[in-house]
Amino acid sequence: MNVRFEPSAGLTGELRAPPDKSISHRAALLGAMASYPVRIENYLHAADTTSTLNAVRALGALVEVRPNEVIVRGAGLREARQPEGPIDVGNAGTLMRLLPGWLAAQEGRSFTLDGDASIRRRPVDRVAEPLALMGANVQAAGKRFPPFTIHGARLHSISHELPVASAQVKSCVLLAALAADGATTVGEPARSRDHTERMLMRSGVTIHRNGRHVTVVNADELVLEHVLVPGDPSSAAFMIAAGVLVPGSRLLLRDIGVNWTRTGFIRILQRMQGIVLGELEDETGELLASEPISDLDIAHGQLEGTVVEPEEVPLAIDELPLVALLGCFAEGETIVRGAQELRLKESDRIATVVDGLGGLGAEIEATEDGFVVSGSGGLRGGVIDAHGDHRLAMMGAVAGLASREGVEVIGMEAAEVSYPGFVADLERLC
Ligand code: S3P
């Protein structure tokens, strides 16, 4: 589906962004691993998180979808049922990387995971390696990519340093650790989102963090009664960017998750002199169980270029395409470094962002691990291909509103992966 976005005269009004995708995936998975029913309020019903509900059903959990809540009656920590055929993860990288943590502990059972064309280009060796150290066996096509099969086993606890900062890989190890034979420690080279740790803490698991290391103690069972999913800061980021870029805008975004590990984009934007007000969570030394929320108040303003350093990257990983877009409108240069992980997302986001924005008139260059944008007073407009990547489609739409001549997005339907109703929300605010 191709959709044209004309230059906007300003976005105004209030919006409730869709529920958080990362937290929805985790709530459904922990619900499936739990011993008692879990009530998930404000679950995200989008393509990715529907894949997760279907996956846990196939594994023996009972899922009841009610208005504004989902009840998951779990199969239990060690009781996943071996399904007849492969589990389809669709486009969901988070499902593909977290689920093997649970499945690795299912002794004597095997599970095959597969997904769409984009998923088949995304590496799984990063989870296969730590799971193998714990005693499970994971076999992937061509060693690195889906489809792949997990042969469950009795797991050992490990102490493991992750080579890349990835919340998905960290979470996979933490889930496997629940059924291991002692305490497992995972270290990450830079802090990444910690929703799994917080939710495990609320499930009665013994877990603590010391700097970049998390230690989790094995458990007999999970007891997680209720999860309230906040608004997704990564989905809200598109509206935030639109509000900051389009003159005359003034937006109020309600109940957005402001966990410190997810608000890197807002901090970068504030450094660029963007006007975003809200009660963001501060970085804390200790691990917290709750997920903080805040309203965010956004207004148009003139931006300045900035440098995004490697340790900030995991805290804004899904919003970096928007940093590139903001850079086109900022004074001076905007540089992102240490973001080679972008090449392994739903598309190669260094290539697709640089080609896409370049085609709209941006002065932007790819580097091996990021990009350099020279602010050129905005964007002309034109046509951008989403390449099946939801975040690229939505970035194209925002670019259109802020451009001089408008933008046509090829493949706008990709937005359904994380933000159903995105185009309708934008139209309402314009
Ligand atoms: C996610 C972690 C990030 C992010 C993805 C969601 C998660 O991936 O890009 O959209 O929910 O844990 P990596 O952990 O692979 O960087």
Place of tokens 């937006």: 251
Beta bridge partner(s), residue 298:
251, 276
What is the per-residue pLDDT for 160? 97
- Asked if residue 142 has pLDDT above 80, the reply is no
Q: Whose CA is nearest to atom 13 of ligand 1?
A: 166
Q: How far is the CA of 370 from the centre of ligand 1 (A)?
A: 17
Length of the chain: 430
What's the pTM? 0.98
Q: Establish whether domains 2-19+230-429 and 21-228 are of one fold.
A: yes
What is the per-residue pLDDT for 209? 97
Place of tokens 């931006």: 303
- Asked if residue 203 has pLDDT above 80, the reply is yes
Distance CA 131, CA 71 (A): 29
Does 341 sit in the ligand 1 pocket, CB within 6 Å?
yes
Which ligand 1 atom lies nearest to the CA of residue 126?
A: 15
- DSSP for residue 108: T
- Asked if residue 284 has pLDDT above 90, the reply is no
Q: Whose CA is nearest to atom 11 of ligand 1?
A: 22
Q: How far is the CA of 127 from the centre of ligand 1 (A)?
A: 13
Distance CA 231, CA 295 (A): 10
Distance CA 158, CA 170 (A): 13
Distance CA 83, CA 284 (A): 42
Q: Which of 168, 312, 347 to mutate to test the pocket of ligand 1 (most atoms within 8 A of CB)?
A: 168
Distance CA 35, CA 77 (A): 8
* Sequence-separated (6 or more) residues with CB below 8 Å from residue 356: 384, 385, 392, 395, 396
Place of tokens 């998750």: 257
Distance CA 101, CA 106 (A): 10
Instruction: Give the CA distances from residue 284 to residues 55, 281, 289, 294, in Å, rounded to whole numbers and listed in that order.
Output: 34, 9, 12, 17
- Tens of pLDDT, residue by residue over 328-350, are 999 999 999 999 999 999 999 99
Distance CA 198, CA 178 (A): 14
Does 167 sit in the ligand 1 pocket, CB within 6 Å?
yes
Cα angle 120, 311, 388; round to 5: 25
Distance CA 105, CA 154 (A): 6
Alpha helices in 90-166 (DSSP H): 93-103, 125-133
Q: Which of 22, 23, 261, 418 to mutate to test the pocket of ligand 1 (most atoms within 8 A of CB)?
A: 22
Place of tokens 């408008």: 406
| Closest-CA residue to 261 (of 287, 236, 297) | 287
- DSSP for residue 313: G
- Tens of pLDDT, residue by residue over 63-113, are 999 999 999 999 999 999 999 999 999 999 999 999 999 999 999 999 999
Which ligand 1 atom lies nearest to the CA of residue 21?
A: 11
Q: Which CATH superfamily is domain 21-228 in?
A: Enolpyruvate transferase domain (3.65.10.10)
**Can 181 be counted among the known catalytic residues?**
no
Q: Domain coordinates of the chain in residue numbers?
A: 2-19+230-429, 21-228
Q: How far is the CA of 380 from the centre of ligand 1 (A)?
A: 32
pLDDT class of 285 with cuts at 50, 70, 90? confident
Does 91 sit in the ligand 1 pocket, CB within 6 Å?
no
Distance CA 411, CA 167 (A): 28
Q: How far is the CA of 235 from the centre of ligand 1 (A)?
A: 14
Does 140 sit in the ligand 1 pocket, CB within 6 Å?
no
Which ligand 1 atom lies nearest to the CA of residue 317?
A: 9
Sheet holding 137-141, edge to edge: 87-88, 110-114, 145-151, 137-141
Q: How far is the CA of 405 from the centre of ligand 1 (A)?
A: 34
Candidates 194, 318, 389, 425; catalytic one? 318
Q: Which CATH superfamily is domain 2-19+230-429 in?
A: Enolpyruvate transferase domain (3.65.10.10)
Does 303 sit in the ligand 1 pocket, CB within 6 Å?
no
User: What integer is the mean pLDDT of 147-151?
Assistant: 97
Strand, coil or helix: 279: coil
Which ligand 1 atom lies nearest to the CA of residue 193?
A: 12
Q: How far is the CA of 318 from the centre of ligand 1 (A)?
A: 8
User: What integer is the mean pLDDT of 140-161?
Assistant: 94
- Tens of pLDDT, residue by residue over 211-268, are 999 999 999 999 999 999 999 999 999 999 999 999 999 999 999 999 999 999 999 9
